[in-house]
Amino acid sequence: MFEKIKKLLVEQMGIDEKLIIPEAKLIADLELNSIELAEFILTCEEEFEISIKDEDLKKLVCVSDIVEYIENL
Amino acid sequence: MNGKLPKKFNPDRVGKVDDLKQMWEWNKKTYGPQIHFSYKKDKSVVDITFNEIYDIIQKAGTAFYKIGVMGETIAILTETRYEWLVSYMATVNGNGIVVPMDRELSEEQILNFLERSKTKCVVYSGAFAKLIENYAKTSDRPEKTAEIFVNFDLEPEKEELPEYKDYKIYSFENLLKIGEDALKDGCADFTDVVIDNEKPCAYLFTSGTTGTSKAVMLSHKNIASNAYNAACCASFGFNDVMVAVLPIHHSYETTCTFFASSMLGSHICQNESIKMVMRNFQFYKPDKLALVPLFVDNMVKKVWDEIEKKGKTKTVKTAIKLSNALRKVGIDLRKKLFKDILAAFGGNLNAIIAGGAPLNPEHIKTMDAFGISVWQGYGITECSPLVAVMPGDMHLKKSESVGYPVFQNEVKIGEKDENGNGEILVKGDNVMLGYLDNEEATKEVFTEDGFFKTGDIGYIDKDGYVYITGRKKNIIILSNGKNIYPEEIEEYLMKIEGLKECAVIGRKKETGEDNITALIFPDLELEKFAGKEFKEIEAYMKEEVNNVNKELPVFKQITEVEVREVEFEKTTTKKIMRYKLK
């Protein structure tokens, strides 16, 4: 799952591949802003055919949080 | 006032109204059969006309009378939807007080605000049913005043109306039925209400900690005059399509997107989630938008990224030069030349009002080159909120200004420094009545001659345009328009075990945006840290800040952490000297 998320971050959000490690923080390290983060979550929803509630967005601080969230659905 | 009144400011654009009841009567009379609100439901779009909204307001208001909450304090907690507008109007047009709640608040803050405002009735959507209905049933909170609850998404057969309990939970569907039946029986207790436009009709909680947040009291006169002035001064057209993007509880979205634009016959489309913003631009094809600068930043970035991806940067830059030259001789080819670029926003977008935070003036020029005018606005909740707005033909000439003062509010600069900057002061029909139950704070924000002290520092040029150069208060303003009170985040940080002192500051990034930065001083004498290297303590603190971030809304998350080995410099009263922190 991590590799899939990484691929999306590189291809859809134009983030440097080297920066994407599980502990990388989406806002602080990868410099996504709140709108970009919301758009990325939409991309994940469509890619993995899942649904993430708006209220859960704040729990997704690191790349690994998204991986875990999706794996635990 | 300096300068000449801008040509684009026209007091006769819409009907002059003294209260929000008159505003909706004027809307109905002027735009009745037109569509006012659209939303998606089960893969189709539902359109509601001005007439229909007006009728639903009458039903809801009459039902409030029948269930005993007309004239009381009613809180609304929901995402953007037309029922919000209906509940708001049904409350205030029955001489009640509305409390629009921020849906991103913590649960405890929501309940605290319900109690501080002495709310009698809570109207909410299904997303908040668990929280509010648990609260309805609790007997552990002595300050609780709410007794009546209305759930937008509850099926009528699941209502809880026990005779023997001190709470009742209605479905919105049934509430409207109650109102409809009463109106058929000739009940006129809501429809005949005479509005007192000087009394409070809305409590708006400002950002801050549970303890420091203040409730701004606004009257019908404040809000109605501001909506009328915004409609006359902002250069939005008649019957524009708009997408409601910003949080609906915020006075900027309420007064500008909903109220002022309703007076211009606008068609408002629901944005159901922040995730859907760009999709909804393409779907609803808005003509105009009211946004915060962060959206404009993102739009500009998206446009250039897309152009670069297609390898057309050089071509587009040449096209901009050509287009700008042609415009000087009166030929405007922007719609044709940049059709593909504008398609990303639906294809019809021609203007944006941006307020709530500083906007990069370069973005105004870039968007204008593609055919989208960006007009800055300046407002503050205490002024209902609009204080100044850019006239439609001045955004390039005055790109660094936040606009010209709207009608019925006088703007001046307080005591000036050597550069001519001083505190921006406002007086007029839009200025609040005061802060709820807080005379001391109210007194502090008014000058002796009755001007409201905004806390913003700036100046007014010779033509009368307002400029903001700084802030007096300790607030971090983000480009999404959110005000961050450092004390609120510090309250969360103080819960970290082993943290002795902390301060939250805004640190400028290269992009000009503020990074929310936490400066932390650990209690190094603690047994917990005995024998540990500073690096280990630093790693522990950073991990703990990560956990704090998970409790905070995305926009409030701490993006930079600095762990210090020395304690903060303090004043004699042992307060951290914040101004020394960088």
Residue B198 in contact with partner chain A when CB distance is under 8 A:
no
| Facing residue for B305 by CB, picked from A14, A37, A45 | A14
Contact B409, B426 (CB under 8 A): yes
Best of A33, A37, A55 to mutate (most B CBs within 10 Å, chain B): A33
Residue B413's Cβ-count burial label (10 Å; 0-12, 13-18, 19+) is: middle
Q: Does residue B385 have a cis bond before it (omega within 30 degrees)?
A: yes
Helices in B234-292 by DSSP H: which ranges? 251, 261-262, 277-284
Q: Please give the share of chain B, as a percent, with pLDDT higher than 90.
A: 71
**In the predicted structure, residue B573 carries a pLDDT above the cut 70:** no
pLDDT of residue B464: 96
Span A38-68, pLDDT tens digits: 889 999 999 999 988 877 888 888 999 999 9
| Facing residue for A35 by CB, picked from B298, B551, B560 | B298
pLDDT of residue B550: 85
Kindly state the average pLDDT of the residues B169-178.
Answer: 97
Which H/E stretch holds residue B223?
helix B220-233
How far A34 CA lies from chain B's nearest CA (Å)? 6
**Letter string b/e over residues B464-475, b meaning 16 or more CB atoms within 10 A of that residue's CB:** bbbbbbebeeeb
Q: How far apart are CA B358 and CA B481, in angstroms?
A: 8
Residues of B in contact with A54 (CB under 8 A): 79, 273-275
Strand B121-124 to B73-77 pairing: parallel
Chains A, B: CB contacts within 8 A come to 60
Residue A21 in contact with partner chain B when CB distance is under 8 A:
no
pLDDT of residue B394: 94
Q: How far apart are CA B379 and CA B356, in angstroms?
A: 7
Residues of B in contact with A62 (CB under 8 A): 546
Report chain B's mean pLDDT, rounded to a whole number.
92
Sign of CA dihedral B270, B271, B277, B280: negative
pLDDT of residue B2: 61
pLDDT of residue B572: 66
Q: Which two tokens stand for residue A64?
A: 């690994």
Contact A65, A59 (CB under 8 A): yes
How much is the pTM? 0.87
Closest to B300 in 3D by CA, of B215, B197, B372: B372
Q: How far apart are CA B345 and CA B372, in angstroms?
A: 10
Q: Which two tokens stand for residue B332?
A: 């405007």
Span B369-396, pLDDT tens digits: 999 999 999 999 999 999 999 999 999 9
Contact B209, B487 (CB under 8 A): yes
Backbone φ/ψ region at B552: left (φ over 0), alpha (ψ -120 to 50), beta:
beta
Residue B295 in contact with partner chain A when CB distance is under 8 A:
yes
DSSP for residue B429:
T
Residues of A in contact with B553 (CB under 8 A): 58
Contact B536, B563 (CB under 8 A): no
Residue B259's Cβ-count burial label (10 Å; 0-12, 13-18, 19+) is: buried
Residue B546 in contact with partner chain A when CB distance is under 8 A:
yes
| Facing residue for B549 by CB, picked from A14, A42, A61 | A61
Of A17-21, B217-221, B350-354, B507-511, least confident by mean pLDDT is B507-511
How far A2 CA lies from chain B's nearest CA (Å)? 20
Between helices B82-92 and B50-66, what is the axis angle to 10°?
50
Q: Hey, where are the domains in chain A?
A: 2-71
**In the predicted structure, residue B29 carries a pLDDT above the cut 90:** yes
Verify whether the Cβ–Cβ distance B554 to A36 is below 8 Å.
Answer: no
**In the predicted structure, residue B420 carries a pLDDT above the cut 60:** yes
Query: Binning pLDDT at 50, 70 and 90, where does residue B365 land?
Result: very high
In chain A, whose CA is at the least distance from the CA of B516?
Answer: A28
Span B94-139, pLDDT tens digits: 999 999 999 888 898 899 999 999 999 999 999 999 999 999 999 8
Q: How far apart are CA B379 and CA B216, in angstroms?
A: 14
Residue B510 in contact with partner chain A when CB distance is under 8 A:
no
Kindly state the average pLDDT of the residues B442-449.
Answer: 96
Span B136-171, pLDDT tens digits: 999 899 999 999 999 999 999 999 888 777 899 999
Closest to B256 in 3D by CA, of B423, B376, B152: B376
**In the predicted structure, residue B475 carries a pLDDT above the cut 90:** no
pLDDT of residue B174: 96
Kindly state the average pLDDT of the residues B552-568.
Answer: 88
Bridge partners for B219 per DSSP: B200
Annotation: CATH topology of A2-71: 1.10.1200
